[in-house]
A = this chain, B = another copy of it.
Amino acid sequence: MTAGALGIIAGGGELPIAVAEAAVAAGRDVFILALKGSADDHVSRFAHEWNTLGEVGRAMKLLRAHGVGDVLLAGKVARPRFSEVRLDAKGMMVLPKVLAAARKGDDALLRCMVSLFEDEGFRTVGVAEAAPALLANEGVLGRTQPSEDDRADIAVAAKVVRAMGALDIGQAAAVCAGLVLAVEAAEGTDRMIARVGELPEAIRGAPGKPKGVLVKAPKPLQDGKTDLPVIGTDTVRNAAAAGLAGIAVEAGAALIMNRAGVIKAADEAGIFVMGFAHDAYPG
């Protein structure tokens, strides 16, 4: 059985494009269904069509017309005001289900989206399967190693992230000398890191004398098909600017965009970037 082309439902950010690049590099046909108002214009480098969130029937038809077998959801999608979403017939049919899921949180909403595609006969796949080259490995990526203090902070932050994830809150936390500086919810990781840099200097590090760590790990409910935590060069630069000593992510369950750039940025800033085994901090 052939899985057909890889269909990427593309929200915002670099991730959908990185996945498309990796899939094409591996010799696979790719079709991007770019979500209007969210997806990056760079999707135009690949076979693509633009679609609104409410045009569900049209989405299914486009995916079939482009020979898509596997569907992957990637990138950030701002929750729309549902009253402003233009719905086609299929969109109207699935709306009650989507609204009910949305009320239960991000994770329920993503699972609902996955089931919509599976009900139409597509196979949904995660980035881990479609673009394994993007997954974080175990170990330190650049030149800077975490200190003993950093490792103690990673243990605390990992525990916090596991607890946050179990409640579908977020997948990132920053800890410095045992103190939880910030926890990510709806604002996203970049804003969370910026907040760390605004805290009183007595409880955090600073560029030049960095202290404390950022940890990202997936929610335990996530099945890898949806919203894996991601870091990139911006994450590294922001963490360094906020005075953090480094970043740790779960190996095999977090994505590193532009790995070469991340290593370069980490080495320039003198902070560490590492992957830890799931079993090191099982939650």
CA separation between A102 and B203, bound complex, in Å?
10
Closest B residue to A83 by beta carbon equals: B202
Most buried by B among A178, A179, A185, A187: A185
A200–B103 touching, CB < 8 Å? no
Closest B residue to A200 by beta carbon equals: B78
A182–B177 touching, CB < 8 Å? no
A170 on the interface (CB 8 Å rule)?
Answer: yes
A163 on the interface (CB 8 Å rule)?
Answer: yes
B199–A105 touching, CB < 8 Å? no
A64 on the interface (CB 8 Å rule)?
Answer: no
B79–A202 touching, CB < 8 Å? yes
| B residues less than 8 Å from A159 (CB atoms) | 167
A contact residues vs B (CB 8 Å cutoff): 78-81, 102-106, 159-160, 163-164, 166-170, 173, 177-183, 185-187, 191, 195, 198-203
7 residue pairs of the A-B complex, CB under 8 angstroms, read A78-B202, A80-B202, A105-B179, A106-B179, A169-B180, A170-B183, A191-B195
